[in-house]
Structure 1
């Protein structure tokens, strides 16, 4: 790669753009990120990162960089007169389940770190792995053709130049200039108005002793929303688009807290468009939309905004890496829209089905059943040309204990041992194609197929290479008989399985892998 070319150009260097850069660089893909701002926004924005996001960061060696890691409890919210005044009812994100099975879904808990503190960590790691991150660099225009995309850029000193890339990932936010230039429309609930916010510091730690971190302020002539970023910073959100001076903002903060003499340090203000819109297509030719450019979702306790974007980044990154390395044909990239757009819609509907946003739903989630949090987090189903056998009769999401290793689902977490080392089954995945089985014939099949197709297929024999902590746990979790096998994609999703041993395991595995990895058929000589 030189300064004027790259395999992938990422437009936008905020949370999702940096995540895309990180996952691509981890795959060894030459890429450039351009961001028009000099760095991260001073407003923290997102704070909670789901266990699934933490699994992805664990795979690239970043999970231990988080200043704090909490349990998988969703942020607790309560309606109050003020923090110092009367506290009314607490409102759950999801109605309590009648029976909560005591199952450990993941080796990770939730991550708690403000977005403006996370982005520099992602940026530094991406650069360490080889990403070319160009701040204060603006996209002016672009043109794509059959072999790539040409982008016209303006650098920090005002110089203009072109850059040629094989593919582009647009992570340039909800006002995405790339999406607009591609004339990709959006559907969904739409705009719900503009809000103002003020970020500040104040000594309010005593109000967090109960574990509540979000407060709906309810006074006869004053309604607002107060939230802590758990690092000494708080934000007050006001549901109007009115400009206010510092004295007025301080007075409103004191009113929301209920302490007339509260010492306050104002940090910054923000202006937010509250909307819910899903792009009609997540790709156009060689250009892919990710994060808010693809789906704008209102902030929710489910983590359906930032976390959905990070999962977009991971999904497109491994597929681009496979295509650019010549292991897969470009047909594999069709699965990005097929997999990620239904997830965005599912999360759109779930936001408005819940109490937090039900009053703003305008009927878009009428008769939508609320899906269990564990199902939304770990049990969403992919259907695409990169999955073989995801039946149309299957639901869009279920808890992991309700699945049994069906193709299109995230491979389940199990604790396993390798010698004296204790691992999650997920630690064996998320870098390459993996075949999990118990029978030795599958190892030979994987070796033969990998050689024939030129794809690294690593076979892990359970009971030989690794041991499960409970007898029969592997077969039960993956829905296999003693001689069965499960083929796991580089993102940790089940691509295909053979419940038992077929007559020709080599042929069965080769046919399946050729399809789900979009390997071109050999040409006749």
Structure 2
């Protein structure tokens, strides 16, 4: 059997697997994706992607290809008897968190991006095309048949739809193979959480219902005798009606039920497809085993929520792991850097699991009386304010909260680097545009440039120093030191994923020495720092 070679084998070519292929290929990592289905699911599934997801897609060249929601737009939901019938109440999309600002506080711009109301089956082809452009080897209709790992890599057997089998030798295996992940099962990794909640069915249909969107409400909780369901639009003429039961309905019954939810019988309805899935909340006991990593639903199955925690969390998994695999495979970092993937992403999955059940939509599934008292964190905290605690973020201690609104942070290691608008050389860009390719040192003092050069030379870790206030100017001089928690002579070390790894509030006596030690530690540098000369 002929053996092919690649750096990373991705099992699963859905949303998370394709995102991983894009991020890995963006970093120059040879990647092979094996997806057993010949194409994307006919059911759109997820709809709505967060500003943080859009930041990640923007960085890899997809920002202009994914339509963002209009400025100031917000998702709204109402409880109704039917679309054409009485509307009883509108429920807040996301409850205000305990540390939210007062209503009269001015709006804060947290990101250069807005969310995107695009269906998953419309986003996946964009990811697929971009991954192919970047050099990923995408194989649909190809199943991961068997695999085993050893100290040097993973040996897998792939089987195509026509029965052809071939071996692939990869450095690492990334399992994005869904909630029933055969890879996770083979590893014997258990899961915890609320578990199975219910079994749901849905019908995807097309109908001319645009007039019911004019008020700005796009999600509807249908509440009438004999029909408890959820109705929403994909924004492209397609709608989905999700039932609260697991009853099979024939096409005539489905069409009649759709018309019952609409509240009219004079409209044409085209049934497209149906769906059935297990509603569950489960988080894997670990996200890695040797050279194998879990991402997306293979790592955490989260029920649909107003924060979009399922799909968006999986995309962030892939992004977090991609730069780490790239750094290790290139020889810049030692393999111990990969241990920070589980340390950083699993707590985020648990945080989102618990937040789902703190909110009204899923609170009915809680069992212990204390669960209802879980503090609610609003979306700004969950989107932009989560904290990573690992060896790749110095001083991110247990005394810090797992997440907070971005304005509550001030450049602490382990937090996402803040967005600030910068101008220079006739262009306007965000601080976020300075990241994603490699390590970056942001500083307001010239002395840090020489320190960065010396630290990079001693550790073997490529490091770019960008001075803020010279050619890159914020709107007002104190914006940078205030947002990043440094003095006029301080500096902030930002990882390739845009998270802060270390900072120095002021200029130390030996900036090169301190930066070298910090960079070597947080990057898990493969080369020990060279002795000072």
TM-score by length of 2: 0.96
* Cα drift, residue 93 of structure 1: 3.0
* Cα drift, residue 72 of structure 1: 6.8
Alignment of 1:70-469 (within 5 A): 70-71=70-71, 74-96=74-96, 97=100, 98-99=102-103, 100-363=105-368, 365-469=371-475
Q: Give secondary structure in 2 for the equivalent of 1:355.
A: coil
Q: After superposition, what is the alpha-carbon deviation per residue over 1:310-359, rounded to whole angstroms, capped at 9, x for unaligned? A: 00000000000000000000000000000000000000011110111111
Query: For residue 40 of structure 2, what is the aligned residue in structure 1?
Result: 40
* Cα drift, residue 169 of structure 1: 0.5
* Cα drift, residue 78 of structure 1: 0.8
Residues 1:516 and 2:528 aligned together: no
Q: Is the Cα–Cα contact under 8 Å of residues 46 and 311 in structure 2 kept in the other structure?
A: yes
Q: Is the Cα–Cα contact under 8 Å of residues 51 and 72 in structure 1 kept in the other structure?
A: no
Residues 1:497 and 2:503 aligned together: yes
Output the CA distance in 2 between the equivalents of 1:159 and 1:293: 26
Structure 1 residue ranges (4+ consecutive) displaced by more than 6 angstroms after TM superposition: none
Please point out which of 484, 489, 493 is paired with 2:490. Answer: 484
Which stretch has the larger CA shift, 68-77 or 329-338?
68-77
Q: Give secondary structure in 2 for the equivalent of 1:309.
A: helix
Output the CA distance in 1 between the equivalents of 2:106 and 2:514: 36
* Cα drift, residue 367 of structure 1: 1.7
Output the CA distance in 2 between the equivalents of 1:299 and 1:212: 18
Q: CA RMSD in A?
A: 1.5
Q: What are structure 1's unaligned runs of at least 5 residues?
A: none
* Cα drift, residue 95 of structure 1: 2.4
Output the CA distance in 2 between the equivalents of 1:250 and 1:204: 15
Q: Is the Cα–Cα contact under 8 Å of residues 331 and 526 in structure 2 kept in the other structure?
A: no
* Cα drift, residue 74 of structure 1: 4.8
Output the CA distance in 2 between the equivalents of 1:86 and 1:3: 64
Output the CA distance in 2 between the equivalents of 1:307 and 1:284: 23
Q: After superposition, what is the alpha-carbon deviation per residue over 1:98-141, rounded to whole angstroms, capped at 9, x for unaligned? A: 43541100000001211001000000100110000000000111
Q: Give secondary structure in 1 for the equivalent of 2:315.
A: helix
Q: Give secondary structure in 1 for the equivalent of 2:169.
A: strand
* Cα drift, residue 303 of structure 1: 1.2
Cα 1:78–1:350 shift into 2, 3 Å: same
Q: Is the Cα–Cα contact under 8 Å of residues 36 and 140 in structure 2 kept in the other structure?
A: yes
Output the CA distance in 2 between the equivalents of 1:243 and 1:347: 31
Residues 1:471 and 2:473 aligned together: no
Q: Is the Cα–Cα contact under 8 Å of residues 79 and 216 in structure 1 kept in the other structure?
A: yes
* Cα drift, residue 6 of structure 1: 0.5
Output the CA distance in 2 between the equivalents of 1:394 and 1:441: 31
Output the CA distance in 2 between the equivalents of 1:32 and 1:143: 17
* Cα drift, residue 465 of structure 1: 3.0
Q: Give secondary structure in 1 for the equivalent of 2:282.
A: strand
* Cα drift, residue 360 of structure 1: 2.0
Output the CA distance in 1 between the equivalents of 2:528 and 2:252: 72
Query: For residue 17 of structure 1, what is the aligned residue in structure 2?
Result: 17
Output the CA distance in 2 between the equivalents of 1:281 and 1:365: 23
Query: For residue 60 of structure 2, what is the aligned residue in structure 1?
Result: 60
Output the CA distance in 1 between the equivalents of 2:431 and 2:395: 22
Cα 1:205–1:212 shift into 2, 3 Å: same
Q: Is the Cα–Cα contact under 8 Å of residues 50 and 72 in structure 1 kept in the other structure?
A: no
